Amino acid sequence: MKGCILLVDEVGIVKIEINNILKNYGVEIAHVKDGVEVLNYLHLYKDKVKLILWSYVSQDYSDFDTIKSIKSKEVYQSIPVAMISKLTDRKYIIKAIEAGVSEFIAKPYDEETVIKKIDKLLGNILLGGTERDQEDVLMYTFSDMLNREIKAAGRGNHPLTIMLSTVVDNYGTAKNVNEYYEVIDSIIKVIRSKLRDTDTVFYYGSNNIIILLPFCDKAGSAIVEQKVKSIFNSHTIIKTKNKGMSLITSSVTFPDDGKIKDRLLEKLTRDLVSISNSTQEEDLSSETTKQAAE
């Protein structure tokens, strides 16, 4: 047996299809109907689950919230999640990526494509390491999206700003990691509702937020940065969850700061670290001055 695939399928049709496709590959397939059953199953059998296949039929994004909650838990972060859906609009794929989905299987699908994608997520154990053609794979990642936006900006001769934010728990006030991630989730949801339809918000690592801002130059990025900080400091939902945390932000703009993706990301991260260090030094100096005055 090559591990267990946990299939989330409310209707049951995908369950039949996937069982038929994988019947000769020695993979155990466990079936649950919704997010509640997923969490119950993972609580009992997390060590044997190697992949979660999530059949997505809803358009209300509730499944994405559940996936995000699962991926925020350290004990489940190593389990990849693949989405199976006939909804292939850009906005749904972006939502899936932001929630933590590693792969997207578009319906209607053919048997060979499904096997290739599942094999990749399981560590190439189904096909015995044979060469596979991945050109037909419908997979969108942050890197792919950034490549597309940079190419579009280059062709259209317009600017593109990449903004990176991180949440810093200054005094260790978060009671647990879930409380910390609740603040990040709230920020992403609020920012997404306040920005333009052309802007895209991603998770970037465990505690970072990255925003792609097409047609946004240096002056525009300064305005957006102030808007994001204002949202963090004043929005009711975030203020309710935030206990002593701060938001650190940096940004780079194509083509002013460079035209190569990797160099832009390096500068973005380097600037964020520099700003974070400066902020911590200022906070320490301020706290020392305050204590001396008392």
Rounded CA-CA distance 36/40 in Å is 6
Of 3.40.640.10, 3.30.930.10, 3.30.420.40, 3.40.50.2300, which CATH number belongs to 4-121? Answer: 3.40.50.2300
First-residue to last-residue Cα distance in the chain: 67
**Residue 167 contacts residue 187 (beta carbons within 8 Å):** yes
Rounded CA-CA distance 261/143 in Å is 9
How is the chain split into domains, by residue range?
4-121, 142-293
DSSP structure string for 198-254: T-EEEEETTTEEEEEEET--HHHHHHHHHHHHHHHHH-HHHHHH-SSEEEEEEEEEE
Sheet holding 160-169, edge to edge: 200-204, 208-214, 160-169, 245-254
Long-range contacts of 21-25 (CB under 8 A, 24+ apart): 21/111, 21/114, 21/115, 22/115, 22/118, 25/115, 25/126
pLDDT of residue 259: 93
4-121 with 142-293: one CATH topology? no
Buried b (16+ CB within 10 A) or exposed e, 237-272: ebeebbeebbbbbbbbbbeebeeebeebbebbbebb
Rounded CA-CA distance 81/105 in Å is 11
pLDDT of residue 6: 95
pLDDT tens digit at each of 294 positions of the chain: 567 999 999 888 888 889 888 888 888 999 999 889 999 999 999 889 999 999 987 667 788 888 988 888 888 888 999 988 887 776 777 778 878 888 888 877 778 888 888 888 888 777 765 443 433 333 345 677 788 889 989 999 999 999 999 887 765 555 555 666 677 778 888 888 888 878 888 777 656 788 999 999 999 999 999 999 999 989 888 888 777 788 899 999 999 999 998 899 899 989 988 888 876 555 545 545 545 555
pLDDT of residue 129: 53
DSSP structure string for 167-180: EEETT---SSHHHH
DSSP 196: -
pLDDT of residue 188: 82
pLDDT of residue 249: 93
pLDDT of residue 139: 37
Long-range contacts of 195-198 (CB under 8 A, 24+ apart): 195/224
pLDDT of residue 135: 35
**Residue 28 contacts residue 5 (beta carbons within 8 Å):** yes
CATH of domain 142-293: 3.30.70.270
**Residue 261 contacts residue 294 (beta carbons within 8 Å):** no
SS3 of the chain: helix, strand, coil, percent, to 5: 50, 20, 30
